Amino acid sequence: MLLTLAAPAEIYKWVDDEGKVHYGEKSPNTTANRAVETIKIKDAVSTSNNERANEAFKKKSKSLDENRKKRKKEKLAKKKKAGKQAKQKKACEEAKEILAGLQMPRVALTDGDEYVWLDEEEKQVKINEVKALIKTLCN
């Protein structure tokens, strides 16, 4: 964004020997005793307009930066949520596989290097635990 600064310019006005009025950017180079009037002209854009434009630019820049940070934060939160959902889905599938294994006629669990066979009551307790876990994870 380009901003122009107010720069006053000088214009010279004089009357020649014949009575004609002249205007110019340079003073006449004559030694005659003529009255030369200096006219100061300001640009159309004032300093206060430049300051307002600069303030508006700064305000818009700040707003854009804040929006960019907000979008970045939202994107990160969405990514974290998607990662959490993926982990939960995986845990849900694993719990369903465990439940399928517990519904076999004979169920054995490992206890260190040994297998421990579950009786029907122990098996039902484990099934209920896994069903509760599935209800939590898969919803």
Lowest mean pLDDT among 7-11, 41-45, 97-101, 105-109: 41-45
The SS3 assignment for 8 reads coil
What is the second-level CATH architecture of the domain 46-137? Orthogonal Bundle (1.10)
Q: What is the pLDDT of residues 98-130, one digit of tens each?
A: 999 888 888 888 878 888 888 899 899 999 999
Give domain limits for the chain.
Answer: 46-137
Confidence (pTM): 0.49
Which of 50, 37, 45, 49 has the alpha carbon at shortest distance from 10?
37
CB atoms within 10 A of CB 135: 11
Q: What is the pLDDT of residues 49-89, one digit of tens each?
A: 788 888 899 999 999 999 999 999 999 999 999 999 999 99
